[in-house]
Amino acid sequence: MMRVELPRPLAPGLGIRFDVAWHFPIPPYGGGRMGHVGSRFYELGQWYPRMAVYDDVHGWNTLPFLGAGEFYLEFGDFDVSLTVPAGFLVTATGALANPSAVRSAQERARLARAFTAPGQTAQVITRQEAIANATRRVPGTKTWRFTASAVRDFAWAAASGLRWDASTWDGILVQTFYHPDATPWEEANSMVRATLRHFSGALGQYPWPQISAVEGLVEGMEYPMVIYSPSLQKREDQYWVLMHELGHQWFPMQVGSDERRYPWMDEGFNTFADYDAAEAFFKGTAYADTVRRELLAAYDATAVPGSEQPMITKPDEVRQLYWTAYQKPALMLSILREAVLGREEFDRAFRDYVRRWKGKHPQPADFYRTMSNLTGRDLDWFWRNWIYTTARLDQAVDSVRAGADSAFLYLSNRGQMVLPVTVELRYADNTTETRSLPVEMWDLGSRFTYRLATAKRLSSVMIDPRRIYPDVARDNNSWKR
């Protein structure tokens, strides 16, 4: 950390220029976010001096990086020139400004096919060419120049001996770079392209001209327009890493939340979006039916009374990062979407949240207010339960009493968390219906009597028939005559 004292205060709307010389030794493996293999393969991130964020909440944000609490970065424009050995291939944040100076005529011609045949993957550098390039020595250097606007970081990868596939979707260039023996990556370009289309529909249009995925030693990391992922043999695993890192192009690359203090606002929101993307990509397969179950299984295994921490816990103190920052916020948003707001209302509001806060730095309260403003709902009770406590849900059917022209359902909320109640009613004539009761039913206490106007004879009552709630005691969720 370096502090610079200015000779005079900098007034709003004015600027100052810093010329900085620095040296950066590239680590072999930099905390899972960068590294190199010998002198022929490099993945770079966090490699240059950058300004701390100054916001209206904390002033200068000078908290150091932690593995559990990542980065809080300001948006800006980049014009970067990278001089590398002449035989290297380079990809980076931004658009390449001098393609004719660094790419061969053959590469440019093959790349053009990606634009003339959208949705089709073009091999810009084939497997055999990549193998030959890995050992071919080319004298001299080349300077690659990249420009990018309104991004919060700049990353780049450089190597010889990589395969290079390219395609386009909606005019956006999709590039994948991988080693000749990384055969699972032969599908990576279509995976990224399909997921780019899905996220653009669900979260708002991808705003930049290209996205590049690089296969290598980094286990999974995101930068503006660049994602790093290893090669994984299992198709589902390969998709999840690529898809998750791509989702970060919205959170936090567009919605610039404070990852250092609130990792759940980027990792959690992104993980929530991942589950929809995975269901869409694997639709029609047995695997697609298992995707959602993972979150409830994680709840059962991890949300243990006495050891679970609230989502708002500082990253410095978090013991179960994957649950607190990834899975629980994803489950929270799933419940908000499926059981509180409904899919249509939630999806509209969540897209508008991305749109309103693109290029800005929302705090948790900004997210709460935005969602309430866009839905017209007071959701304070919901955020309090999920983010600030470790409240557990236990809804129950205590008993059912039949009358002449009605039935009385005696329901209770035995946990600390409150949520709306959905009941499935099955009658003696084998017909069924579903009733939804609002969360306000618990305003007067933990017990509620629901009068059902019907002359039909009930045979069973079940709470949460879709089993979407993290109910800790499902044995009391139903009643049978």
CATH number at residue 216: 3.30.2010.30
Indicate if 189 and 292 belong to the same structural domain: no
Q: Model confidence over 257-274: pLDDT tens digits?
A: 999 999 999 999 999 999
Please check whether residue 195 is in contact with residue 274, taking contact to mean a CB–CB distance below 8 angstroms: no
**Residue 17 domain-assigned?**
no
**Residue 189 domain-assigned?**
yes
pLDDT value of residue 265: 98
pLDDT value of residue 67: 81
**Residue 96 domain-assigned?**
yes
**Residue 371 domain-assigned?**
yes
Indicate if 399 and 378 belong to the same structural domain: no
pLDDT value of residue 31: 72
Indicate if 171 and 225 belong to the same structural domain: yes
Report how far residue 32's alpha carbon sits from residue 229's, in angstroms, rounded to the nearest whole number. 10
Indicate if 45 and 182 belong to the same structural domain: yes
**CA within 13 Å, CB half, 236:** 12
Indicate if 64 and 211 belong to the same structural domain: yes
**CATH code where residue 409 lies:** 2.60.40
Indicate if 405 and 451 belong to the same structural domain: yes
Residues 6 or more apart whose CB falls under 8 angstroms from that of 72 comprise 53, 61, 63, 256, 258, 259, 260, 261, 361
pLDDT value of residue 354: 99
Report how far residue 89's alpha carbon sits from residue 231's, in angstroms, rounded to the nearest whole number. 19
Here the tokens at position 477 are 């969720």
Under DSSP, the state recorded for 185 is: G
Indicate if 324 and 182 belong to the same structural domain: no
Low-confidence ranges of the chain (pLDDT < 50): none
CB neighbours of residue 481 within 10 Å: 11
Indicate if 463 and 357 belong to the same structural domain: no
Please check whether residue 268 is in contact with residue 222, taking contact to mean a CB–CB distance below 8 angstroms: no
Indicate if 139 and 162 belong to the same structural domain: yes
pLDDT value of residue 218: 94
Report the DSSP pairing between strands 226-229 and 221-223. Answer: antiparallel
Residues 6 or more apart whose CB falls under 8 angstroms from that of 431 comprise 456
Sign of the dihedral defined by the CA atoms of residues 344, 345, 348, 351, in that order: negative
Here the tokens at position 27 are 């680590």
Under DSSP, the state recorded for 289 is: G
Indicate if 171 and 210 belong to the same structural domain: yes
Angle between helices 293-302 and 328-335 (to 10 degrees): 120
**Residue 450 domain-assigned?**
yes
- Please state, for a pLDDT cut of 70, what percent of the chain lies above it: 100
Return the H-helix or E-strand segment holding 375: helix 364-375
CB neighbours of residue 320 within 10 Å: 18
Q: Would you say the pTM of this structure is higher than 0.85? A: yes
- Give the number of domains in the chain: 3
Distances (CA, A) of 446 to 71, 383, 392, 398, 439: 42, 19, 14, 12, 11
**CA within 13 Å, CB half, 407:** 19
In the block, which residue shows the tokens 């690089």? 214
Here the tokens at position 335 are 């419940």
**Residue 286 domain-assigned?**
yes
Report how far residue 238's alpha carbon sits from residue 243's, in angstroms, rounded to the nearest whole number. 9
Query: If you write DSSP's letter for every residue of 433-468 in order, what string do you get?
Result: EEEEE-GGGGTT-SEEEEEEE-SSPEEEEEESTT--
User: Pick from 250, 296, 216: which is nearest to 42 by CA?
Assistant: 216
Domain final position from 328, 353, 387: 387
Q: Which structural domain range is residue 452 located in?
A: 395-480
Q: Model confidence over 283-341: pLDDT tens digits?
A: 999 999 899 899 999 999 999 999 999 999 999 999 999 999 999 999 999 999 999 99
**Residue 313 domain-assigned?**
yes
**Residue 28 domain-assigned?**
no
**CATH code where residue 349 lies:** 1.10.390.10
In the block, which residue shows the tokens 């948790």? 364
Indicate if 194 and 233 belong to the same structural domain: yes
Report the DSSP pairing between strands 226-229 and 210-215. Answer: parallel
pLDDT value of residue 321: 94
Indicate if 155 and 175 belong to the same structural domain: yes
Q: Model confidence over 84-132: pLDDT tens digits?
A: 999 999 999 999 999 999 999 999 999 999 999 999 999 999 999 999 9
